[in-house]
Amino acid sequence: MSFETLPQIGMGTFRLQGNDARDAVKSALSLGYRHIDTAQMYGNEAEVGDGITSSGIPRREIFVTTKIWHTHLQPDDLIHSLHDSLARLKTDHVDLTLIHWPSPGDEVPMEDYLGALRNAQREGLTEHIGLSNFTCDQMDRARDILGNSPILTNQVEVHPFLANRKVVGHAQQLGMQVTGYMPLAVGRVMEDETLQRIAAERNASPAQIALAWVVSRGIVPIPSSTRPQHQKANLDALKIRLTAEEIAAIDALDRGERLANPSFAPVWD
- Which one is catalytic: 33, 42, 113, 181? 42
Annotated binding site: 100
Instruction: Find the Cα–Cα–Cα–Cα dihedral 235, 10, 15, 72, rounded to 10°.
Output: 180
* Positions at the binding site for substrate: 100
The CATH number for 11-185+219-224, chosen from 3.40.50.150, 3.40.50.720, 3.20.20.100, 3.30.360.10, is: 3.20.20.100
Q: Tell me the Cα Rg of the chain.
A: 18
Could you list the pLDDT tens digit for every one of the 269 residues in the chain?
A: 567 789 999 999 999 999 999 999 999 999 999 999 999 999 999 999 999 999 999 999 999 999 999 999 999 999 999 999 999 999 999 999 999 999 999 999 999 999 999 999 999 999 999 999 999 999 999 999 999 999 999 999 999 999 999 999 999 999 999 999 999 999 999 999 999 999 999 999 999 999 999 999 999 999 999 999 999 999 999 999 999 999 999 999 999 999 999 999 999 99
Show me where the domains of the chain are located.
Answer: 11-185+219-224
Give the span between the Cα atoms of 242 and 112, in whole angstroms. 43
- Angstrom distance (rounded) from CA 240 to CA 11: 18
> 113 catalytic, yes or no?
no
Q: What are phi and psi of 259, to 5 degrees?
A: -95, -30
Instruction: Give dist(CA 117, CA 125) in Å, integer.
Output: 9
